Structure 1
Amino acid sequence: MSMLQVETDSLGRPIELFYEDIGYGPPIVLLHGWPFDHAMWEEQVYALAGSGCRVVAYDRRGFGKSSKPFDGYNYNRLVDDLKALLDALDLHDVTLVGFSMGAGEVVRYMSRHLGQRVARLALVSTVTPSVTKSKDNPDGADDAKFDDVCTHIRADRFTFMDQFVDRLFEGADVKRPMVDWIKSLAEPASRIAMLSCVRAFAETDFTGDMAAAINLPSLVIHGTQDRIAPFAANGRRTADLLPGCIFRPYEGAAHGLFATHASMLSEDLLGLVRSPPSQTLPPTVF
């Protein structure tokens, strides 16, 4: 467990990322979802490191044990943080995996930093290419929905988290201790970061970024019963924009498949890590 300084604020105070670097072998870097921290990947870290991978998982600025500055919560700044981490650890041929909001960071990193150091990528329960309703995305959410989310966070973010985690596992048989643990991962988050990141993923359209990822082996995993990032609006549209990807719909899974389908997800990620980095995978739909 380590801290990496990625920049300083306007008063010269350090802004640091907390990260864990576990295991030996081909590197895989895990980007967590909003509003949790790197610990959401517990099952995948254990499985991947145990299968011969070097696994790096970190807390996005504003979340977990990372610094909680007042600003810097736009996607460009967030992927600059990611680049600083990859550079500092001198990682090569990385398999980059993003869950939900983190999947947006993966795609923006590919376009903003030209995929430096990355050999493969996976987008899990992704918010790409966009979550807001538009002519191209009729299944997206209205702007008013995100306004309502911010209102509830300002009023009582802990009650909001109760409701959010219920939707995360909607329809799944998840035991109460697991639900309570997942909720606890949001408690250290800065309220400023929570609110700013809602705006970041609500207002960002990644369609223009997607082309940067086309030539890499890629995996899109999405639950067919996802109510947070709907399957048609996000999973299917993302796969359509990555014509060479492996697309794995998880039948009946909700958004929180990192917990409800933990073993399946770990196996699929391990299969991606073991794929040749120079080979574009054939399109496959399950």
Structure 2
Amino acid sequence: MLTAATPFISRPSHVTTRDGAELFYRDWGTGRPVVFIASFSLPSDMWAYQMLPLVRAGFRCIAFDRRGHGRSSDPGRGYDYDTLADDIAAVMDTLDLEEATLVGYSMGGAEAVRYLTRHGTARVARLALIASTLPMLAKTPDNPDGFEPAHVEMFQRDLVTDYPRWLAENARPFAGPEVSEAMIEWIREMALRTSQFALSACYGTINGGDFRAELATLDVPTLIVQGDHDASNPLELTSRRTAALMPDARLVVYEGAPHGVFLSHAEQLNADLQRFASGA
């Protein structure tokens, strides 16, 4: 347990990937590692209200900025799931992490799954999927409840015409009614600093993903958290189906929670993550 007398260890730096991208990461505390993978459009700063409580509970918390996000480089390439999974591997291998709990939010959950199916589970003891885009968002003949192509096209149009307006209109539904305006403005400011190339490419990747076969192969213990008021990734389309596909998954539904559960239900999420990362 971290106390006032315990040195706070922070090792912020960068990892260079195989294709030359520079990934900023933050590394706080000591103990069992918990690795956080952020949402599409947001940097690792989004996890501040999870990382510090977990560090104080005795965990080592690592988070990195996806390429084109935050303080990482903007290479204009590599936004497919395989490359993004390799970026996770670069961080995990550089820091030589073992017995880690991997926590992925929204798109980050899909990246975490692709990391595990592509690189194996040797470094990971547990997986937490928070409001993830899994298993598949697009509408197809065998996924008839998915999003219509027009849904994707509308965002791509907003991105190249007036992304700040889109953020302003969608920030409150994302965060929910109880989150302060100041907190919402903080999230908006971070999203506005993200590369537009990365935003467009990642959004295409998200909506082209199909993880149904991969999820069935993962036997790592998995915690799935989703709000039942999530307008971005509806519960019945995403986490409910993900839990049914995975052999060792537990779904926890937050009543009244929007997509941004890391803001709206931070205390509840932190308690669940702490118990899960402890092996409880």
TM-score calculated relative to the size of structure 1: 0.91
Please state how far the C-alpha of 1:115 moved relative to its aligned partner. Answer: 2.2
Cα deviation 1:58-88 (Å, max 9, x = unaligned) = 1000101101011110000001010011000
1:193 aligns with 198
Q: For 1:216-231, what aligned pairs fall within 5 Å after superposition? A: 216-231=220-235
Deviations 1:147-198 (A, max 9, x none): 110010011221122123233124x222110110011111221100000000
Distance 1:228 1:134 in 2: 18
Instruction: Please list, as runs of the form range in 1=range in 2, the aligned pairs for 1:264-275 lying within 5 A after superposition.
Output: 264-275=268-279
Q: Is the 8 A contact 1:133 1:141 kept in 2?
A: yes
SS in 2 for 1:185: helix
| Equivalent of residue 128 in structure 1, options 126, 130, 134 | 134
Q: CA deviation at 1:136?
A: 3.8
Alignment of 1:142-153 (within 5 A): 142-153=148-159
Choose from 250, 255, 267 the match for 2:259.
Answer: 255
The aligned counterpart of 2:33 is 27
Q: Distance in 1 between matches of 2:254 and 2:260?
A: 11
The gaps in structure 1 that reach 5 residues or longer are 9-13, 277-286
- Counterpart selection for 2:185 from 166, 180, 186: 180
Of the structure 1 ranges 177-186 and 243-252, higher mean CA displacement relative to structure 2 is found in: 243-252
Map of 1:59-78 to 2, 5 A cutoff?
A: 59-78=65-84
Q: State whether residues 217 and 246 of structure 2, in contact with CA within 8 Å, keep that contact through their aligned partners in structure 1.
A: no
Deviation at 1:225, TM superposition (A): 0.7
Name 2:95's counterpart in structure 1: 89
**What percentage of aligned pairs have identical amino acids?**
37
Greater mean alpha carbon deviation, residues 114-123 or residues 193-202 = 114-123
Distance 1:143 1:201 in 2: 12
Q: 2:208 aligns with which of 192, 203, 212?
A: 203
Q: d(CA) in 2 for partners of 1:220 and 1:135? A: 26
- Picking from 6, 30, 33, the partner of 2:17 is 6
1:117 to 2:130 alignment? no
Tell me the matched-pair count. 269
Instruction: Tell me the amino acid that sits aligned with residue 275 of structure 1.
Output: G
How well do the aligned residues superpose, as a CA RMSD in angstroms?
1.2
1:252-282 residue CA offsets vs partner (Å, 9 max, x unmatched): 1010000000011111111111117xxxxxx
**Letter paired with 1:6:** T
In 2, Cα distance between equivalents of 1:16 and 1:7 = 10
- 1:93-126 Cα distance to aligned partner (Å, 9 max, x none): 1100000000000111111112231110000001
Distance 2:247 2:239 in 1: 13
Task: Please give the TM-score of this superposition, normalised by the length of structure 2.
Answer: 0.93
Contact 1:93–1:118 under 8 Å retained in 2: yes
Tell me if the contact between 1:137 and 1:233 (Cα under 8 Å) persists in the aligned partners: no
Query: Match of 2:237, SS?
Result: helix
- Corresponding residue for residue 165 of structure 2: 159
Does the CA contact (< 8 Å) of 2:225 and 2:254 recur in 1?
yes
* C-alpha distance in 1 between matches for 2:249 and 2:180: 33
The answer on whether the counterparts of 2:223 and 2:249 sit within 8 Å (CA) in structure 1 is: yes
Shift of 1:143: 1.2
Equivalent position amino acid for 1:112 in 2:
R
Alignment partners' CA distance in 2, 1:241 and 1:232 = 13
Residue 257 of structure 1 aligns with an amino acid whose one-letter code is V
- Cα distance in 2 between the residues matched to 1:66 and 1:145: 29
SS at 2:216 equivalent: helix
Read off the aligned partner of 1:203 and give its amino acid letter.
G
